[in-house]
Amino acid sequence: MTRALVAVAALGGTISMAPDRSIEDGVVPRLTAEDLLGDLGAHLPMDVTAATLAGISSASMDYATLLRTRAWGLEQVAAGAAGLVVVQGTDTLEETAWFFELTWPHDVPVVVTGAMRNPSLPSADGPANLLAALTVAASPRSRGRGALVAFNDDVHTARWVRKAHASHVEAFSSNPAGPLGLVAEGSVHYFHPAGSRAAAVPVDNADFAGLVPLLEAGIADSGELLSLVLDAGARGVVVAAGGVGHVSTGTADVIATADVPIVVATRTGAGTTFRGTYGFHGSESSLIKVGATMAGWLDPRKSRVLLQVLLATGASREAIEAEFRLRGDLD
């Protein structure tokens, strides 16, 4: 049987961190992709090619790095890779996976992973997560499933996955949908067949300059902060709203006068925004009437990445509305 070729890109994160007392107390990104693969031993059941594209904490992830990684991935596919693995920090791993889901045009899977325990700790989870990601990426069963996250032997789709714990090794959750599958005895098992994917957003000439803030609604919210970011020239704003998409009357007043896209997502961590149940000033129906775009099932972070990608590619207001309806599963 021919062996699958998997291409691995290392971007940094806890999985690649080691102590360096000359720089800081604590661990910092130092290990290369080859170092990480070396920890897995010599006998992998797939061929692997590796590149170290960055060495950053994932809090510093940016679109320049993501676009560079995507361009590297396209080259690997052209060179025959059956799957890609992207290794990075866990803090923004869900955003990277979602960026690839939105922009990846191939059936070749992109599998993102990392670690919660750095390599100097007992039971470091990096090697097991990397092996699981390689297993998922190499499997023909993963084709057509877009961007995936392999972590703690679960396989998540980029669409639902969130970092849901600050320190546990079981840090990722796809609540309320649940994981897509799991890795056991060197194989990936999926619970459902692959579904159809929305068309990839072409980002070749994308311009990610400018601010797209994410603001969270809460008590004593006058709308002043939203006003400030709009006055500062934000290209668009995501509001993490209460419940099914509710904001204060002050914020509703500002949304009504905004001339850039305002996306309203739920801050609850599960569930969808509504369209027409509540009617008070600041309710979902009142925000829709003044032109807000509802995020549906997309959480605020995924909404922000989608809005950034759409604004960077010059999408019209109608196209933004349509993409959120499609990707947020709104009827």
Write out the catalytic residue numbers: 14
Closest approach of Cβ 66 to ligand ASP, in Å?
Answer: 14
Closest approach of Cβ 19 to ligand ASP, in Å?
Answer: 15
Q: Return phi, psi of residue 202, to 5°.
A: -75, 120
User: Residue 147 or 237: which CB sits closer to ligand ASP?
Assistant: 147
Query: Which residue's Cβ has the minimum distance to ligand ASP?
Result: 89
13 touching ligand ASP, by CB under 6 A: yes
Alpha helix (H) residue ranges in the chain? 33-38, 63-78, 93-103, 126-138, 224-231, 249-257, 284-289, 300-312, 317-327
Closest approach of Cβ 114 to ligand ASP, in Å?
Answer: 5
27 touching ligand ASP, by CB under 6 A: no
Cβ neighbours, 10 Å, residue 144: 15
19 touching ligand ASP, by CB under 6 A: no
Cβ neighbours, 10 Å, residue 189: 13
User: Residue 14 or 103: which CB sits closer to ligand ASP?
Assistant: 14
User: Residue 90 or 283: which CB sits closer to ligand ASP?
Assistant: 90
Closest approach of Cβ 185 to ligand ASP, in Å?
Answer: 27
Q: Which of 73, 83, 109, 114 binds ligand ASP (CB under 6 A)?
A: 114
Closest approach of Cβ 249 to ligand ASP, in Å?
Answer: 37
Instruction: Report the alpha-carbon distance of residue 33 to residue 9 in Å, rounded.
Output: 7
Closest approach of Cβ 231 to ligand ASP, in Å?
Answer: 32
User: Residue 65 or 293: which CB sits closer to ligand ASP?
Assistant: 65
284 touching ligand ASP, by CB under 6 A: no
28 touching ligand ASP, by CB under 6 A: no
Beta bridge partners of 172: 163
Q: What residues contact residue 120 under an 8 Å CB cut-off, 6+ apart?
A: 18, 19, 27
Q: Provide the mask over 209-248, with x wherever binding to ligand ASP is found by CB under 6 A and - wherever it is not.
A: ----------------------------------------
User: Residue 37 or 138: which CB sits closer to ligand ASP?
Assistant: 37
Beta bridge partners of 48: 6
Cβ neighbours, 10 Å, residue 134: 25
Beta bridge partners of 52: 10
Instruction: Report the alpha-carbon distance of residue 13 to residue 316 in Å, rounded.
Output: 35
14 touching ligand ASP, by CB under 6 A: yes
Rounded to 10 deg, the angle between the 249-257 and 224-231 helix axes is: 20
Q: Which of 33, 37, 53, 58 binds ligand ASP (CB under 6 A)?
A: 58
Instruction: Report the alpha-carbon distance of residue 60 to residue 41 in Å, rounded.
Output: 30
Q: Which of 57, 227, 285, 313 binds ligand ASP (CB under 6 A)?
A: 57
User: Residue 63 or 274: which CB sits closer to ligand ASP?
Assistant: 63
Q: Which of residues 68-107 bind ligand ASP (CB under 6 A)?
A: 89-91
Q: Return phi, psi of residue 39, to 5°.
A: -65, -15
Torsion on CA atoms 158, 161, 163, 167, rounded to nearest 10: -110
Instruction: Report the alpha-carbon distance of residue 107 to residue 173 in Å, rounded.
Output: 24
Instruction: Report the alpha-carbon distance of residue 150 to residue 148 in Å, rounded.
Output: 7
Q: Which of residues 133-162 bind ligand ASP (CB under 6 A)?
A: none
Q: Write out the residues near ligand ASP by the rule CB under 6 A.
A: 13-14, 57-58, 89-91, 114, 116
